[in-house]
């Protein structure tokens, strides 16, 4: 059973901005990418002006992989900005525990696919 569903609108925290997209954490396990093609139908001149690291935004779920906890996201045609100030990234109680506990399994799964 999937935690996030296609076309669902959820809130997430921006954790990174790169030339190809914006990284967003949805909860202590799930994170995703808003690919630059899912930001606007038009040309995105400066992706750094779309969202700030630490900002909480609304995103639309395009696809969710419960095995890897990765989500494909979009903000096209969505009023994604929230009226919140001083949003900060805070470490969860799990810290790197999820990575430590799952890294070997994820590597093995990836190797099996190849």
More confident: 31 or 88: 31
pLDDT tens per residue across span 9-40 = 999 999 999 999 999 999 989 999 999 999 99
Mean of the per-residue pLDDT values for the chain?
Answer: 87
Say whether pLDDT at 84 is over 70. no
Please give the angle made by the CA atoms of 26, 81 and 78, to the nearest 5 degrees: 85
* Residue 62, both tokens: 């395009």
- 43 phi and psi, to 5 degrees? -75, 130
List the domains of the chain with CATH numbers: 9-113 (2.40.50.140)
Average pLDDT of span 61-76: 94
Polymer length in residues for the chain: 114
- DSSP 3-state of 111: helix
pLDDT of the residue at 88: 61
Say whether pLDDT at 105 is over 80. yes
Average pLDDT of span 48-53: 93
């Amino acid at each position: 059973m999937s935690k996030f569903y296609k076309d669902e609108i959820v809130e997430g925290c921006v954790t990174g901005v790169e030339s190809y997209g914006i990284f967003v954490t949805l909860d202590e396990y799930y994170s995703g990418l808003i690919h630059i093609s899912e930001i606007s139908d038009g040309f995105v001149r400066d992706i750094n002006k779309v969202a700030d690291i630490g900002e909480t935004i609304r995103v639309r779920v395009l696809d969710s992989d419960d095995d890897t906890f990765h989500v494909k996201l979009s903000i096209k045609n969505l009023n994604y900005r929230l009226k919140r100030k001083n949003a900060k990234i805070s470490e969860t109680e799990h810290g790197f525990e999820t990575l430590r506990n799952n890294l070997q399994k994820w590597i093995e799964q990836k190797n099996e696919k190849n």
